[in-house]
Structure formats: C-alpha cells, structure tokens
Amino acid sequence: MPFDFTSATGASIDSVVDRTIEDGNRLVQQIVDFDGERNFENTMQPLEALAVLTSHTYGQGPFLGNVSTDEEMRETARAAEERLTKWQVELEFREDLYEAIKAYSETAEAQTLDPQPRRFLDFTMRDFRRAGHELSEEQRSELKKHQGRLVELSVAFSKNLAEYEDYLIVTPEDLDGLPDGYADRLKPGEEPGTLKVSMAYPDVLPFMENSTRRDLREQITFKFNTQAVDDNRPILEEAVEIRQRIAEIFGHSSWAHHGMEVKMAKHPESVFEFYEGLIEPLTAKGSEETEALGRLLLRDGHDDQLRGWDFRFYDTKLRKEQYGVDLNEVAEYFPLEQVIEGMFAITGEVFGLSYQRVEPANAWHEDVALYEILDQDSGQRIAHFFADLFPRDGKYTHAAAFPLVVGHRLPDGTYERPVSAIVANFTKPAGDKPSLLQHSEVLTLFHEFGHILHMSLTRAEFARFSGANTEWDFVEAPSQIMENWCWNAGVLARFARHHKTGANIPEYIVQQLVAARDLNVALTTLRQISFGWLDMGMHGPRDDRDLDNLLLEAQNITLLPPHEGTFFPSSFGHLMGGYDAGYYGYLWSEVFGDDMFSRFANEGITSPVVGREYRSAVLEPNGSRDASDLLLDFLGRAPSNVAFLTKLGILT
C-alpha cells in the first residue's frame, strides 16, 4: 500500500523533511569519507539511495502543499519543499562530493559499467560540471554572482507583472456583443456609469472574442501588450546578457547551447530546423485562413487588412457560424465515471493493463480514489495512483500529474512500484447529476493520464531515470499521444454515451469537434512558433540580439502586421520563468507525440501489438536512454512532422 495520508500533519511533514536531510547528509558523508578502493556500490549506490529518499519524502510531505484542505498544512508543506530543494541544491555545490564521484569515474571499473549504471555516472558528472565544479575559483565566483542576479531579476519581473494595473474604461453601451453577466464581473470605474476592463485573462479573452467594437479591441490589445514594459524590458535585456555571460563561462557559444545540452534537441540549430520545416507549409495554409477572416472583416465594413485585435473576434464568429458546437450538449455524453471506465478499457487493451480500485484509499481527502495498475498477462501489480479530480478551496487550480514514489530497482533485486497522483478540477457530481466533462476536459484527463502511465510503467533501474526524469523537451510527448484517441469517432463510441439515454455520441458531433479544432489552426500554430522563435533568437547563437529586431522577425511569422509601440515580451512570463531557450518544447512534444501515434493510425487505432511495443520501447525505459533513441526504436525511422501536418489538414 502507498502512504497513509490520513495521519499527516504539519509536524509530520517537518519531521519527515528533517529526517531526510539528516539521513541524506549521512549518505553523502558516507561517500565522502570512504577511503578504500572506490566502486559503484560504495560510491554511486548511496547517491541512488539519496534520490529514492527524497522521492519518498516529497510524496509524504511537500506534495500536500498542492492538495491539503488545511491552510496551515499547505503552508508548512510549501516551506518544507523550499527547504528540501535548497538542501538538494547545496549538495550539488559540495566540492568533496564531486571529488569523490570524480575519483570513481576514473577507475577501471567505471570504464566497464553496463549502460544504465554508466549513464547514471555520466549524468551525475554532467550535473556537477554544470554546477561549476570544473571552473576556476574566479569563474565560480562570477557564476554565483550571475546566478544570484538572475534570481533577483526573475522575482522582480514577476512582481512587476503581478502588481501592474491598467484598465480599459468602458460604459455598458461599449459592451455590445459581450455575453450576459460579463459587465457584472467588472469593477466600477472612477466616473459614474463606467466600468473597468482589467488586463486579466477572464476580462480580456471574452472581450477580444466577442466585442463588436474594433476600436476598443485595438485599445485593449495595446494595453495588454505593453504591461509593465518600462520596468520589465530592461530586466529582460539584462537577463539575456547575463545568461550569455554564464554560457560563455562554461565554454558555450550561447545560452541556448548551454541549456539544450541536457535536452533532446541538443542544440538550437535543430530547433530552428524543426521550426523551418513547419513554417513553410503552415504559411501556405495560414494565408488561406487570413483571407477567409479578411472576408469577414470586409463584410463588416472594414477595408484594411486583418490585425492582431481582429483574430480572436473573427475566429469566434466563424466558429459559431460554421461549426456551431453546443459544448453543453457535448458534455452530456461524457459523464466522468464513464470516461474513466472507457480510458481504463482502452489503455488496458492497448498496453496490456488492468485496473482495480483500492479501498480504503487512506488519502488526503474523502473525494480521492486510489487505483492499482496490474499487468494483464501476469496479474502482477505494477503501480498505484491516486485520482483527486474535484475542486476544493486551496487546492492546486490546474491539472497535473505528480510522482510520489519513483520506480527503481531495490538492493534485493525486486522493483519498487511507483506511486503517483493525478490532480484536476472537474465539476463535482451534485445530487443525481453526474460530473459531466467538456470535450476539452476529456482531453485533459487523457493527457494527464499519459503522464501517470509514463511514471507507472517505467522499468528504469535507477530513480535518476524514473518518474518524469526524461529530457525536458520530451516529457510531454507520452501525454500528447494520449489526446489523439479523444478525436477518433470509433474510440469515442466505446465510452461517449449520453448519461440519460445511453445513446452513443453522434458521429456528426465528433466531426464538428474535429472541424472546430482545425479551424485557423495554421495561424494559431504560427503564433506559437513566433513565441519560440523569439525565445530562441534572444538566447541562441546570433550577434544581433536587439529585442525590437527580434520581435519584428517573430511577428512576421504570424502573418499579421506588427502592432506599433507594443512589446509583449514584457509580460511573457515564460522568458523569466524557466522556459528560456525552452519554449519550443510545447510544440516539439506535440509533433513527436503525433508521430508516435501515427503507428496506431496506420496499424490499428487500438492495436495491442503496437501498444505493447510502445510500452516496452518508450514508457518502460523512461529516461534510461536518450529520447531520440527511444523514438527511433519505436518508429523504425527518424521522427518527422508528417503526422502533425496531416492532423492539421495540411498534408493528406
């Protein structure tokens, strides 16, 4: 059984973190103090034990900061997580630990290790090198100064954005086209009879999608894309300069080269090549989409070209006119329990699994269910996962999958079964009305369950390569692949049934959903590419990093004219929130997830043969092999964008 969360308290969380730090320091000291002949067992095995220890600790303590109903416990858990993370970072900077691992890496035994132990050693040495252990004292001092400054800049960037306030002042008469209740949510303006439209998404998106006032859409677009610009632009410029200096300290030509050393893409040139392979076909289709939207603009009496503040409005209009999908009607076919049963049936058939609910769950809340995953052939337990699917005050507000115990080989040769948790916020059943999911929520459930399967089916020998420990730009691919089943009429017919009548979802509704998904998809994808292009331009190998030039270059990709005087990067949190030189990963994972799914599309949409091959070739190795090698093994060829472009209707 996994942990018993019913007895968790703030004190128990602090206690488990204290004990982990104490035991972890003892393990590190054991490595450092050893004065005999170094081997894997006395040098690397304690590091593996340390990784396992911290995995268990996160699952028992800090994780509860996302889900506990007790505010004090959440705060304690978050503080404990910060303490645990700081301690782990400190270990990376211990010179004596680095010297011990380095000494082992130079032994004869280390040269003859099997592939997984060798990878564990190589990755450990790489981590130490990236922490600066092979730099001179002067370089390390400079590195520490730069890293500290980047933390300060990141905090300031977020603070400026959070505290920035600007509004579009409107009257009720200005809200033509807005849905009922929109005005009720707005704060009153200073002048009687006026209202304030803030720059928050719940205010901005409905306005941009529905307001018939083109002039006001332009004004709000300008305000939205100049948020905190005076404060955040210089912060961004300084951050880009500092990142480049850090890269050069490590001998890399750019920050992107430095960061991508540990990613699937390996270097920024492969990302630009990836983008260029998409831009040409997307631009051709995007031009057609722009013309179609432009005709609507002309019909409304505007004789100039489509602009950024027109896109959402006319996209919404076209969506309603041509693909009038009633989302509430669609939800009637997706009661949550039925969707879960269908998801279990399909993944069970495809991957050779079965699922059983475990009682009692001993979870952190009565709504949480616990399941075990079993191998269909042997009947052996493989993993457990918790399902926490309904909203609560103080709970994590999005959807995510959390590793609580990562799978790994135990010293006695047995395998520790992984434990994970899927956390979401679907509508809770009320009385005799079940929880009904929008189709987008069905996608979310399948997506996050893809992460659960990735964590659960691993057979990686070491914790270092288990859980979500694969290349950062590949980690979403095993969840992206899952979404494809939710667009297939044959698959949906197996579980999408009306919660009252039991009737299967009509095929015309599925066709409408797919058509609506594909509407203006080229323009939407080009916009995503433009964000990644800007990010890579700022951090990649080029002499000209002038932000205005880079922004213009990126905006040209979108096929929409630039908006003079705006600078949206000042509110583009990804650039200062850990996605620097990494924004491409969203699209990268989707393209390769679609490519993997192409085998199902070609050989059988729920083929157990393909499914079990995917399980053994991709999910079970997890991070123990390079993602590019996993793809090559499963696909039997180099990955391509053909399946992605076919899904978008660009290739047939």
In percent, the amount of the chain with pLDDT more than 70 equals 100
Q: Please report which confidence band the pLDDT of residue 20 belongs to, taking 50, 70 and 90 as the band edges.
A: very high
38 and 172 in one domain? no
Q: H-helix or E-strand containing 405?
A: strand 400-405
pLDDT in the model for residue 468: 83
243 and 206 in one domain? no
121: Cα separation from own chain's centroid: 28
54-90, pLDDT tens digit by residue? 999 999 999 999 999 999 999 999 999 999 999 999 9
* Rounded mean pLDDT, 494-513: 94
296-308, pLDDT tens digit by residue? 999 999 988 999 9
CATH of the domain at 243: 1.10.1370.10
The radius of gyration computed from the CA coordinates of the chain, to the nearest angstrom, equals: 26
158-214, pLDDT tens digit by residue? 999 989 999 999 999 999 999 888 999 899 999 999 999 999 988 999 999 999 999
509-540, pLDDT tens digit by residue? 999 999 999 999 999 999 999 999 999 999 99
**Cα–Cα distance for residue pair 610/122, rounded to 1 Å:** 32
DSSP string, 9-62: -HHHHHHHHHHHHHHHHHHHHHHHH--S---HHHHTHHHHHHHHHHHHHHHHTG
For residue 642, being part of any structural domain is answered with: yes
Single out the residue in 181, 208, 226 at which a domain terminates: 226
Question: Which of these is catalytic: 448, 471, 476, 483?
Answer: 448
pLDDT in the model for residue 432: 87
CATH of the domain at 38: 1.20.1050.40
Phi, then psi, of 420 in degrees rounded to 5 = -145, 175
Mean pLDDT score of the chain: 95
3-state helix, strand, coil in the chain (%, to 5): 60, 10, 30
For residue 572, being part of any structural domain is answered with: yes
Single out the residue in 203, 226, 249 at which a domain terminates: 226
Single out the residue in 503, 535, 559 at which a domain terminates: 503
337: Cα separation from own chain's centroid: 25
User: Does the structure show a pLDDT above 80 at 236?
Assistant: yes
CA of 500: how far to CAs of 157, 427, 622, in Å?
50, 18, 42
143 and 46 in one domain? no
554 and 419 in one domain? no
264 and 363 in one domain? no
CA of 470: how far to CAs of 45, 123, 477, 623, in Å?
20, 12, 11, 4
550 and 577 in one domain? yes
Partners of 402 in the β-ladder: 421
* β-pair type (419-423, 381-388): parallel
150 and 198 in one domain? no
Enclosing domain of residue 639: 136-164+227-322+520-652
For residue 328, being part of any structural domain is answered with: no
* Rounded mean pLDDT, 407-425: 96
**Cα–Cα distance for residue pair 426/436, rounded to 1 Å:** 8
**Cα–Cα distance for residue pair 470/621, rounded to 1 Å:** 10
Q: Are 407 and 466 in contact, with CB atoms under 8 Å apart? A: yes
Torsion (CA) 281, 286, 287, 290 in degrees, nearest 10: 180
* Rounded mean pLDDT, 248-261: 97
CB atoms within 10 A of CB 89: 10
603 and 542 in one domain? yes
579-624, pLDDT tens digit by residue? 999 999 999 999 999 999 999 999 999 999 999 999 999 999 999 9
CA of 32: how far to CAs of 110, 117, 395, 441, in Å?
18, 20, 41, 50
Number of domains the chain contains: 4
648 and 537 in one domain? yes
* Ordered alpha helix ranges (H), 61-136: 71-92, 95-105, 108-111, 115-130
171 and 287 in one domain? no
488 and 344 in one domain? yes
Active site residue 165: no
327-377, pLDDT tens digit by residue? 888 999 999 999 999 999 999 999 999 999 999 999 999 999 999 999 999
